[in-house]
Structure 1
């Protein structure tokens, strides 16, 4: 028992080092724009700040409620006396650790001749290596692994998908917890569907298809029916639990499905693949994923047991179903294809066989690799700290001016989100559209109760203003990439809110 706990602790320690190395590389690249400053990426931080401030919560969310992400971030915010960028960096590491934990569940129990801890660390390392090849600042790039480091782009859903596959594997693995595991799978499915209905498209629907086909083999019939029952009940419960949150859901997501645009969707994703292949590191990442998919196919038809066969089958069939589904529904968002990157990693833990090497060379090799990973993790801490502490004179200029003015201003979504997060009082910056109507999207609607503003914040992403009255700013304040239009003598009315 002691050796087992020591092995597990060593796995978590190495996973932490891998997470630090990955976060350090991503934070030091152009991808840091998405990690720290993107308009979408700050939603969880804004919501957390609103909760801790005791604000009246009347949020207009998308179809995603970000419940697990917000719970984790709010806890970190309450416990750690650091700034918001540091919290986002810590969250990146925590997200990767959460992924490791889910992979470890999917690797199955430790047995003679198996090394599930070591292969779980390897799987996380491969995932982290792919994330480190992604350097685009664009949220629309096919840089899918690094999205796991953000608080916004479905990090909890990614973990829940892998965890659910792991629970399914444990059910097939002859676990003694025959009642607890289906109930746990039901709970994870319900909570994940409640927070993000995309979970149903990423895991529940594809896995149900895979299990239905698997029924034809009539292998482990009772266990397969138990899996199907837990997934169906959990998904139904999750959607039912969304009903009390209806007031927060400004968009159910139904409009994102446009099946008639499947050709455009195919062309869109094809262009993203072409863009990714323009970079040598992108080619390398794609080759790794293709190799993992191929390995999954091979291991599916050469299984060691039913549990490893299920994980091998899911490792390539689920990404295929998700990709075909995304195209068939006419979607146009790279983030919907994340299973194409993280699910193939599971083939590495489908049958985590220990290497057949003499004990002494094996231990020596393991020690060398472990030391290298730990040293890399330690050296990444200053790298992350440097990215967090990087001065942003433009942002400081805007927030200092807003804080000192004591007045309320407005800005458009992509422009105002970052200053809103960093201002002393986020409510001082109202989110509006180009006509100065309130824009209730990923924001607390209570902010929109403000009826007039006396300055506007704009930047290169701002759509040309169509103000409700003829007015000339009293002065213009330049803050680098932002500009503040000061209308102190001519307050501007805020129009009705829309989402």
Structure 2
């Protein structure tokens, strides 16, 4: 028992080191824009800060509520004496560590001849390698692994889908007994659907397909398979019902994202993203790695030693296939919806995590394993200052805006892509109101209480700002130059806000 605990602890320590190395490498690249500065990427931090401030909450969210992400970020914010960027950096590493935990559950119990801990670390390292090939600052690039490091792009849903697979594997284990696993699967499906209905698309629908095929092939486990299927579907349905009390916060149910008539455009869009990804050496390497994992998954599905291994191996290639086909069939145009393409194939590595044996003269001894862990720890330790440095990169333009707004004591406005970063870093985020180019309130991923101010006396703009079409004729008294930002100060004059919309 002691040896097993030591092995598990060593696995978590090694996984933490891999997470730090990956997070530091991604944060040191141009992908840092997505981690620390992108308008979409800031929503979780803004919600968490709003909750901690005790202010009235009237948020206009997308179809995603970000409940676990916001709770986790708020806990970190309350516990750690670091700024927003430091919290983003810590969250990135913790998201990867959570991914390891889910993969470790899928890998199954330790038993003679198997090495689930080692293979789980290898799977996380493979995912980290994919993330480290991604260096584009664009949220629309087909660079999907590094999205797991953000607080916004569905990191909790990724972990939840893998957790569901792990729980189902345990349910099919010969020694599995009791209702605990059924309750756990139901809780994961219900809560994940509540916070993000994408769980049904990435998890429930494709997993039901895999379970149905598994039931046909294995009559001996049919009762357990059907129990898993009923639990998954029932809990997902309850999750959708649980969203009803949050209806006032959900500004977009997501139904409008489905446009099946646009499937030809969807093929062209994703095809273009793939072509861009294959135009670079790191992109080609990542694509070959993914293809190798999918091939391994197919082989292990055919050669699986038991039903649990077959289930996991099948998930590793069927889920990505169904998600890609579904995304195209629904006419979607967002790379982030294809994340199962990079995280599901990892499960091929832990479908049947047998220990690797070597000839006597090449047999790895404990000292070799200890040396490998030590090397990872050194790499992880050296990555901490690198990650901290990436999070603390000075932004004088941003500081210019936030200092001016904080000092002014007045309320201004800006458009979505321009205003969100300064808004997050203000002492009082309500000092900047999110508007459209006509100065109507833009109620999207923002606390609608901001619009109660009714009027503003300055505007913030940058290269992403659409030319203003103001409701009244007004000329700024002065323009404050803040590098990539400009502040149009109207002095004592005020500009009325129009009606809010999402």
Task: Give me the whole-angstrom Cα distance separating, in 1, the residues matched to 2:14 and 2:32.
Answer: 24
Aligned residue number for residue 69 of structure 2: 69
1:342-381 CA-partner distances (Å, limit 9, x unpaired) = 0100110001101113496243432332222111111101
For residues 285 and 224 of structure 2, the distance between their equivalents in structure 1, rounded to whole angstroms, comes to 39
Residues 41-120 of structure 1: matches in 2 within 5 Å? 41-120=41-120
Residue aligned with 2:138, SS: coil
| Distance in structure 2 (CA, Å) of the matches to 1:454 and 1:45 | 26
CA distance in 2, matches of 1:498, 1:174: 55
Instruction: Look up the match of 2:206.
Output: 206
Other structure's SS at 1:415 match = helix
Q: Deviations over 1:237-262 (max 9, x none)?
A: 10010000000000000000000001
Q: Secondary structure at the match of 2:441?
A: strand
What's the CA shift for 1:223?
A: 1.2
Asked if 2 retains the 8 angstrom alpha-carbon contact of 1:474 and 1:489, the reply is no
State the distance in 2 between where 1:257 and 1:341 align: 23
| Correspondence list, 1:14-413, <5 A | 14-219=14-219, 220-357=221-358, 358=360, 361-413=364-416
Distance 1:451 1:24 in 2: 43
The residue number in structure 2 matching 1:475 is: 478
Give the Cα separation in 2 of the matches to 1:459 and 1:172.
Answer: 56
Q: Figure out how many residues of one structure are paired with residues of the other and give that number.
A: 499
Could you tell me which residue of structure 2 aligns to residue 432 of structure 1? Answer: 435
TM-score computed with the length of structure 1 as normaliser: 0.99
Q: How far apart are the structure 1 equivalents of 2:89 and 2:477? A: 40
Measured after TM superposition, the shift of residue 216 of structure 1 is: 2.2
Paired with 2:28 and 2:93, the residues of 1 have a C-alpha distance of 14
Q: Unaligned stretches of 5+ in structure 2?
A: none
The 3-state SS of whatever aligns with 1:345 is helix
Q: Is the 8 A contact 1:108 1:173 kept in 2?
A: no
CA RMSD of aligned residues (A): 1.0
With structure 2 as the length reference, what TM-score do the two structures score? 0.98
Q: Distance in 1 between matches of 2:370 and 2:282?
A: 28
- Report the Cα offset of residue 217 of structure 1: 1.9
> Could you tell me whether the CA contact under 8 Å between 2:218 and 2:307 is conserved in 1?
no
Give SS of 2:41's match: coil
**Runs (5+) with no aligned partner, structure 1:** none
Which residue does 1:421 correspond to in 2?
A: 424
Structure 1 SS opposite 2:299:
helix
- Which residue number in structure 2 is paired with residue 460 of structure 1? 463
Cα deviations by residue, 1:21-70 (Å, 9 ceiling, x for unpaired): 00000110000000000000000000000000001000000000000001
SS at match of 1:483: strand
For the residues of structure 1 that align with 2:115 and 2:251, how far apart are their CA atoms?
A: 46
> For each residue in 1:442-480, what CA deviation from the matched residue of structure 2 results, as whole angstroms up to 9, or x when unmatched?
000000111100000000000000000111000000101
2:357, 2:363 within 8 Å by CA — same for their partners in 1? no
Partner deviation per Cα, 1:104-125 (whole Å, 9 max, x = no partner):
0000000001110111011000
Change (3 A) 1:310 1:158: same
For the residues of structure 1 that align with 2:388 and 2:327, how far apart are their CA atoms? 38
